[in-house]
Structure 1
Amino acid sequence: MAAPRRDTKGIVDAAELFSHVRFRRREPAEPLRPYLEHYWLIDWDLPEPYASHVVPHPSVNVVFQRSGAGGPGDFRDLGEVAGIGLELFTKKLDGTGRVCGVQFRPGGFRPFAPARPVRDWTGRHLALDAVFPAAAVDGAAPAVLAPDDEDARVAALDAFLLSVGPEADPQADLAIAVVERIRSDRSMRRVGQLARAEGLSTRSLQRLFSTYVGVGPKWVILRYRIHDALDVAETGAVVDWAAVAADLGYADQAHLVRDFTATVGVPPTAYATQT
């Protein structure tokens, strides 16, 4: 599998975020790579609160977070499963803290939690033991978060995930491949077109996405379009938004502006001015 991405897709004003936190991505152990995008690690020590904003990917995340004022013992460790976020995600960072996160490939989470369809987690944040067996999560958060050595944190993430899965599932492999096709082939702009390309009925494709991805294929297509539009807005250049809309497969500029505003909170022209 490819090394962790280097892009900043989905991060609103990435330069501002990186000026406040130390952010990096790490590669998981070999058996986990077909199912995971990467691990993402963040550390901060802030004199003033800072709010980060992300347009979520169509991915489930497992997130371990340590937060506190920085004194000995003055922290708490939490672990949760974060289903696909349907809206702009805002996180307030304060004091001293660290996050060790796992971003699954779209379609890649269910082999680790096969008892429920992934749609059951969409838009929700749940404690680890609500998704995984209690025995598996006991002590997982401190094991991941306590080491100051970054390699040790990555090793603890590997150990946790290998303890809960993955279970081989050809349908998960198919879902991962179909979403990757959406992400890499921008000519795939319609659900019916995608279904035909995959040799599936539209209903079968929608069932696959509901069970294994957590959102429908149309939602995934639109979300990747917004990520691309966000990248364009971040460039600081004068943008022909009508041309961008056409390149992304929108019927017209108004439809792009509507989706961008609904997701990010401001129109693309206003966002480009702010960054």
Structure 2
Amino acid sequence: MGEFGRGVLYPHKQASIVDLRRRPPGAGLREVVEHYWHVRWRTPEPHDTKVLSHPSVHLVFEDPEPLVYGVDRDLFVRRLEGEGQVLGVKFRPGCFRPFAGRPVSELADGRFPAAEFFGPEVGAANREILGTTDTDLMAKLAGEFLLPRLPEPDPVAAEVAEMVERLTASPAVFRVGQAAELLHVSPRTLQRLFAEYVGASPKWVLRRARLHEAATRADRGDPVDWAALAGELGYYDQAHLVRDFTAAVGEPPARYAR
């Protein structure tokens, strides 16, 4: 059973290979963690799973060591082989900044040993979490590891998380000036906050929200009026949408939909 959400490409094909389950965080972590995600796979031949990433940092418990993934501003591709599993912690946008101790833009497109942020004890937690296949237990163990390691609350991180959530819920907001006006800040302030806390620019976040919407429409299997969708999402014309989608996904939207 899969629980594929926005950003996971070719979900129908993925469902035959990947089992994706999500779990909400406990009460003490809801301010910083969006959800846990557990991926198990079995494939007789190598398979590349592809994701249009969100503006979030992830802590991933995996072999051979747990890693922290910064915001991947390109297409995230991971090759799956044989059988395996990972458990991910998806942080709310902006909310990894207190753990990072530095601008989150410095983590963009990178993968880092989790011990850099959580200490050597994360290795033992990794072994314990991967020692079971029970999603609920894995999420519980991850929460028990994170809870005593929460930094002091950062009110700006919470504010930035709300900003990103408002923008990604409104893909028709497509210019940084519009976003700044909606959020009652200057464009320069918005850019500074996103570099410090999110790890991607406001322009990237807006563009990615539009691409998520376009891919979601394509995945439904219904005919898509691409010209109308381009106008709805604020593109100059259909050709602009096609170029943007092709650059991000690797093929035009009509072909992707097939």
Which TM-score band (shorter chain)?
Answer: over 0.9
SS state at 1:101 partner:
strand
Q: Distance in 2 between matches of 1:20 and 1:212?
A: 34
The residue aligned with 1:18 is 15
The residue aligned with 1:40 is 37
**Structure 2 stretches of 5 or more lacking a match?**
none
Deviation at 1:191?
Answer: 1.1
Deviation at 1:185?
Answer: 2.7
Structure 1 consecutive aligned stretches of length 4 or more whose deviation exceeds 3 Å? none
Q: Which of 45, 53, 56 is matched with 1:56 structurally?
A: 53
Q: Distance in 2 between matches of 1:83 and 1:95?
A: 26
Q: Is the CA contact 1:136–1:163 (under 8 Å) kept in the aligned structure 2?
A: no
Q: Is the CA contact 1:80–1:128 (under 8 Å) kept in the aligned structure 2?
A: yes
Question: Pairwise mapping of residues 74-223 of structure 1 onto structure 2 (< 5 A)?
Answer: 77-113=64-100, 115-130=101-116, 132-223=117-208
Identity score, percent: 45
Q: Which amino acid aligns with 2:83?
A: T
The C-alpha deviation readout for 1:194-214, integer Å capped at 9, x for no partner, is 212222111111100000000
**Structure 1 stretches of 5 or more lacking a match?**
1-5, 67-76
- TM-aligned CA distance change 1:270 to 1:149, over 3 Å: closer
Q: Is the CA contact 2:23–2:136 (under 8 Å) kept in the aligned structure 1?
A: no
Q: Distance in 2 between matches of 1:247 and 1:193?
A: 15
The C-alpha deviation readout for 1:127-158, integer Å capped at 9, x for no partner, is 1123x142442412102211233322111110
The C-alpha deviation readout for 1:155-193, integer Å capped at 9, x for no partner, is 111022223214211110111011011022344222112
SS state at 1:260 partner:
helix
Q: Is the CA contact 2:67–2:111 (under 8 Å) kept in the aligned structure 1?
A: yes
Q: How many residues align?
A: 256
Q: Is the CA contact 1:112–1:167 (under 8 Å) kept in the aligned structure 2?
A: no
Q: Is the CA contact 2:24–2:35 (under 8 Å) kept in the aligned structure 1?
A: yes
Q: Which amino acid aligns with 2:207?
A: L
Q: Distance in 2 between matches of 1:31 and 1:116?
A: 23
Q: Distance in 2 between matches of 1:185 and 1:12?
A: 21
Question: Pairwise mapping of residues 224-243 of structure 1 onto structure 2 (< 5 A)?
Answer: 224-243=209-228
Q: Is the CA contact 2:172–2:210 (under 8 Å) kept in the aligned structure 1?
A: no
Q: Which amino acid aligns with 2:87?
A: C
